[in-house]
Amino acid sequence: MQKLAGLALIACGSLYPAPDAAAQAKPAAEQIAAAILAAPPDRRADARVLGYDAAGKLVTLRQGSNDMICLADDPVREGIEVNCYHISLEPFMARGRQLSEAGVQGMRRNEIRWAEAQEGKLKLPDRPAILYTVTGSRFDVTAGALEGEYRRSTIYIPYATTESTGLSTRSSTTDPWIMHGGTAGAHIMITPPRSGGGGGD
């Protein structure tokens, strides 16, 4: 969930590789088409979509009418990664993006958000809330699909622990497991085995 220039189309014109740091944002329609792939099919049409303008600034590309927010791929990062999450996670996610823009990364970014949540400065979901993530190597514009697609899910349950959930802290591709248990960022990971080749993870 941590991920602005010409667009190099391959010969057929329907596929483009993930751009490098010199690339500009893709057209809004393409960003939207890729971003909503992270959401379940029945949640895509009405989801709000955040993406990037020509200057690389994160903006709202499409207003939504349901409880999902989708985040387009950041063209600075290698590979493709798109995310959709429940609206109750937006304060937590937005604060994470703000810290990243300020150069705060990794565990320090988490620790700041957790501390702010404990201090009542950062609103957390009051019930389990999901984040869907899809990664891949290329977006096929014509097919509206990601090559090398890999899906994983994260269910945020602030302050949940192994004891309160019965979940293991050991990563698994067969069973859900808990990460950062006991913190404001506690979440259940659902990480299926890869069938092959997904990029940008």
> Does residue 34 sit within a domain?
yes
Q: What are the Cα distances from residue 157, in Å, to 124, 185, 186, 189?
A: 9, 7, 6, 11
C-alpha closest to that of 172 among 154, 155, 193, 148: 193
> Does residue 8 sit within a domain?
no
pLDDT tens string, the chain, 201 residues long: the values are 434 333 232 233 333 343 443 468 899 999 999 999 999 999 999 999 999 999 999 999 999 999 999 999 999 888 899 999 999 999 999 999 999 999 999 999 999 999 999 999 999 999 999 999 999 999 999 999 999 999 999 999 999 999 999 999 999 999 999 999 999 999 999 999 987 543 333
Q: What is the pTM of this model?
A: 0.84
> Does residue 171 sit within a domain?
no
At what angle are helices 106-118 and 90-101 packed, to 10 degrees?
130
Asked if 39 and 47 touch (Cβ cutoff 8 Å), the reply is yes
> Does residue 51 sit within a domain?
yes
Name the residue range of residue 20's domain. Answer: 15-151
> Does residue 157 sit within a domain?
no
> Does residue 174 sit within a domain?
no
Number of domains in the chain: 1
> Does residue 132 sit within a domain?
yes
Asked if 126 and 147 touch (Cβ cutoff 8 Å), the reply is no
Unique residue bearing structure tokens 């990460």: 179
With a CB cutoff of 8 Å and minimum separation 6, the contacts of 83 are 1, 35, 38, 70, 71, 131, 132, 133, 134
> Does residue 2 sit within a domain?
no
